[in-house]
């Protein structure tokens, strides 16, 4: 493998959400191919100050990789220090024109909006279509709305825009959702906005997705899997953005002058959940059930907890889940727990009682008997045969 010199790189990435984390994963994926960076990581937009940038430049930093949206003024200051810089952000045309040692990488807004438009038009016979901006009306929120409206206009469909003033005023938002012709489809600027729309729909007595289908952008599972019902979302390829930005920065730090200054990156896909599809569909329901089980099986949940999360009857949940997976909800929970039991027996020195507690069993003797019936040997004997310690 070819060896490169070690570069000192200042990376700014907001790690409070899924986008920042995946962009950082893309950076590390690039470095795993044999490149060596000494990274200084800045995690919040508040810390990206003129003082930080000038200090970094004075102290011999080799490159900047900015994955936190910046103001136009900070963009220009950032690029003006003359150090190779890649922004994962909306392009600043003046900065591109004035400074040569900078490029911009961003998700493909047209791809995101085209995917969303196709999802709505192919799976829902809706009579009205809406776009909800985020609460602060940020530039990327408006841009997504403009492009989505244009994509729908190509198909002869008008889009009603829901501005920030409605998102922050529950009564106004409820009025818009109640007055639009049903069934309706709403694309939200990102998942938090979509979660707000779902909440207002429920309070207004609107059925989801029968009256209003809701689609977010970002596929942040911390949001999407905990809304009621679970939220469908367009998933941009944030990791690819981080990878591409790293590749461009490495080339610039090696002395190349970029000929191309703007890159649209990644392919999008819709991760469908119950907010855009009937939750009684076997595939949808089983996907939501397995996601819930994967996150919570070790907390001692039962099949009843799963059905409460799905908002369907136990009989319907078991029927649809068995149709899609060939097993029952309770057996799926047990399998998830026993898989973790086996891992802990093999990879840890925890006692059997400690393992029982960690895997959601209050009674260690119950677990011992269950384990023996399942594997035809005791937990102690299984550990002897499989222990890695």
DSSP of 322-373: HHHHSS-HHHHHHHHHHHHHHHHHHH----HHHHHHHTT-S-HHHHHHHHHH
Rounded CA separation 353/137 (Å): 53
Spatial contact of 152 and 129, defined as CB atoms under 8 Å apart: yes
Q: Residue 38: which H helix or E strand, with range?
A: strand 37-42
Same domain, 101 and 122: no
Residue 170, domain extent: 110-235
pLDDT number for residue 4: 59
Same domain, 51 and 92: yes
Consecutive 10-residue averages of pLDDT for the chain (389 residues): 75 89 93 92 89 90 92 86 92 89 93 91 83 92 96 95 95 97 96 97 94 94 89 91 95 91 85 76 75 88 88 82 84 93 90 93 94 94 81
The CA–CA distances, whole Å, from 106 to 7, 42, 384 equal 24, 19, 52
Same domain, 199 and 244: no
Assign residue 146 the CATH number of its domain: 3.40.50.2300
Q: Cα torsion for 372, 376, 379, 385, to the nearest 10°? A: 180
CA 186 to chain centre: 19
As for how many domains the chain has, the answer is 3
pLDDT number for residue 331: 93
Same domain, 289 and 214: no
pLDDT number for residue 2: 46
Answer whether residue 88 is part of any domain. yes
Q: Phi/psi zone of residue 307: left (φ > 0), alpha (ψ -120 to 50 degrees), beta? A: alpha
Same domain, 98 and 243: yes
Confidence (pTM): 0.71
The token pair that represents 90 in the structure block: 């909306």
pLDDT number for residue 347: 85
Instruction: Using alpha carbons, select from 194, 236, 191, 235 the residue that is nearest to residue 213.
Output: 194
Answer whether residue 277 is part of any domain. no
Answer whether residue 97 is part of any domain. yes
Same domain, 124 and 197: yes
Same domain, 94 and 118: no
Across the beta sheet with 102-107, the strand order is 37-42, 7-13, 63-67, 85-88, 102-107, 262-265
Answer whether residue 30 is part of any domain. yes
CA 177 to chain centre: 26
Same domain, 309 and 332: yes
Same domain, 117 and 231: yes
Answer whether residue 134 is part of any domain. yes
Same domain, 193 and 99: no
B/e letters for 152-167, b = 16+ CB within 10 Å, e = fewer, are beeeebebbebbbebb
Placement of tokens 């039962």 in the chain: 302
């Amino acid at each position: 493998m070819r060896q490169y010199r070690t570069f000192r790189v200042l990376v700014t990435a907001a790690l409070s959400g899924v986008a920042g984390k995946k962009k950082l994963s893309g950076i590390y994926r690039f470095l795993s191919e044999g490149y060596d960076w000494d990274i200084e990581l800045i995690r919040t937009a508040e810390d990206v100050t003129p003082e930080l940038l000038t200090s970094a430049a004075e102290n011999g930093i080799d490159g900047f990789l900015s994955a936190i949206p910046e103001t136009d003024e900070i963009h220009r200051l950032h690029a003006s220090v003359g150090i190779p810089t890649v922004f994962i952000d909306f392009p600043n045309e003046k900065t591109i024109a004035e400074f040569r040692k900078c490029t911009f990488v961003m998700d493909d807004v047209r791809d995101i909006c085209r995917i969303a438009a196709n999802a709505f038009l192919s799976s829902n016979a809706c009579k009205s279509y809406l776009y909800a901006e985020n609460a602060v009306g940020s530039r990327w929120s408006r841009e997504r709305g403009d492009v989505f409206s244009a994509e729908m206009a190509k198909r002869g469909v008008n889009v009603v825009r829901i501005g920030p003033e409605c998102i922050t005023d529950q009564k106004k938002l409820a009025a818009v959702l109640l007055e639009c012709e049903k069934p309706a489809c709403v694309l939200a600027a990102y998942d938090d906005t979509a979660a707000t729309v779902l909440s207002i729909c429920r309070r207004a007595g609107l059925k989801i997705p029968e009256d209003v289908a809701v689609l977010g952008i970002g596929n942040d599972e911390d949001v999407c899997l905990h809304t009621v019902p679970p939220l469908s979302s367009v998933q941009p390829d944030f990791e690819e953005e981080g990878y591409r930005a790293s590749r461009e920065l490495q080339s610039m730090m090696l002395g190349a002058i970029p000929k191309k200054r703007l890159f649209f990156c990644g392919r999008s896909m819709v991760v469908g959940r119950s907010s855009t599809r009937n939750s009684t569909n076997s595939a949808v329901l089983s996907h939501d059930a397995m996601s819930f089980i994967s996150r919570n099986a070790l907390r001692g949940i039962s099949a009843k907890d799963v059905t409460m999360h799905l908002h369907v009857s136990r009989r319907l949940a078991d029927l649809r889940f068995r149709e899609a997976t060939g097993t029952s909800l309770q057996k799926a929970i047990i399998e998830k727990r026993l898989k973790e039991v086996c891992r802990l027996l093999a990879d840890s020195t925890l006692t059997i009682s400690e393992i029982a507690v960690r895997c959601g069993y209050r009674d260690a003797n119950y677990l011992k008997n269950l384990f023996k019936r399942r594997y035809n040997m005791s937990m102690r004997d299984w550990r002897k045969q499989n222990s890695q310690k």
